Amino acid sequence: MRAHIVKAIFFEAARRLPQGPDKPPRLTGYSYKVDLLAGGEVDPERGWVADYAELKALFEPVRSQLDHRCLDDLPGLAGKTHPSDIADWIEDQLRPWPAWFEGVRVSVLGDGAFDPVLLPPDKFERLPSRWSFSFAAAQSLPQLPPTHPCHNLHGHTYKVEIAAEELDGLPPIIKKLHGRLHDTLVNDIPGLEQATCERLCAWVWRFLADRGARPTLVAMQETPNNRCLYFGE
């Protein structure tokens, strides 16, 4: 019996966007997903192709090089940060492979394009109807010790959810918000020099309030398993 398995692992990284011969590169960042692929005969005693823990252990030394880093600063990735280039680079780092290993797939969690979606109320989280969109950006947390991974330049694909007293009038305002945040180093924005998720939520709240939006909720998700909910002061 043959089978194929997939182990998904995530990392957060920044990259530099070329802007032409006379302009310096522009910083942005994304949340990345890496699918580790394995296949072969199913072990008759254990009942698996390979232990998922083995896949995780195989990738860990490479993940530690990628996570909370700027990809262009890594030897071999400068100017080659398309997901397919990253996949090729990862595979080179992992050689020689175990017999059961079949390679990797790399994807970005959303492209950050402005495509707002109106979400219905969520009874489980006790959240009202709200607009959701994403943006991609680079950041660092310089207030943390250099030994902390978030002190390094890195990036996220942020997911934002916004509720307000009048939802119908939000799309034009949040489009301006997206334009202010997308494909930036958020630390360069006044008030976001220490851009934690909590401070981003408060900054977005003020951005909305200053434009008459009367927000009631700002939620910010910076990784697949980290999210902040802000209901104002």
| Ordered structural domains, the chain, with CATH | 2-108 (3.30.479.10), 117-230 (3.30.479.10)
DSSP string, the chain: -EEEEEEEEEEEEEEEE---TTS--EEEEEEEEEEEEEEEEPPTTT-SSS-HHHHHHHHHHHHHHHTTEEGGGSTTTTT--SHHHHHHHHHHHHPSPPTTEEEEEEEES-------EEEPPBTTTTB-SEEEEEEEEEE--TTS-TTSGGGS-EEEEEEEEEEES-STTHHHHHHHHHHHHTTEEGGGSTT-TT--HHHHHHHHHHHHHHTT--EEEEEEEEETTEEEEE---
What's the confidence (pLDDT) of residue 113? Answer: 81
Rg of the chain on CA atoms, in Å: 20
What's the CA dihedral at 141, 127, 135, 108 to 10 degrees? Answer: 90
Question: pLDDT, tens digit, for every residue of 147-201?
Answer: 999 999 999 999 999 999 999 999 999 999 999 999 999 999 999 999 999 999 9
Asked whether residue 96 carries a pLDDT value surpassing 80, the answer given is yes
Which amino acid, one-letter code, is at 82?
H
Residue type, 2: R
Going by pLDDT thresholds of 50, 70 and 90, the confidence category of residue 223 is confident
pLDDT at 166: 92
Give the per-residue pLDDT at 87.
Answer: 97
Structure tokens at 42: 């199913």
How do residues 186-203 score in pLDDT, each as one tens digit? 999 999 999 999 999 999
Question: Within 10 Å of residue 229's Cβ, how many Cβ atoms?
Answer: 15
**Amino acid 137: pLDDT:** 95
Q: What is the average pLDDT across 201-228?
A: 94
Mean pLDDT on 133-145? 94
**Residue 121, pLDDT above cutoff 90:** yes
Give the model's pLDDT for residue 25: 82
pLDDT for residue 233: 75
pLDDT at 103: 95
pLDDT value at residue 23:
76
> What proportion of the chain, given as a percentage, has pLDDT over 90?
82
Residue 38: predicted pLDDT:
94
CB 18 within 8 A of CB 88: no
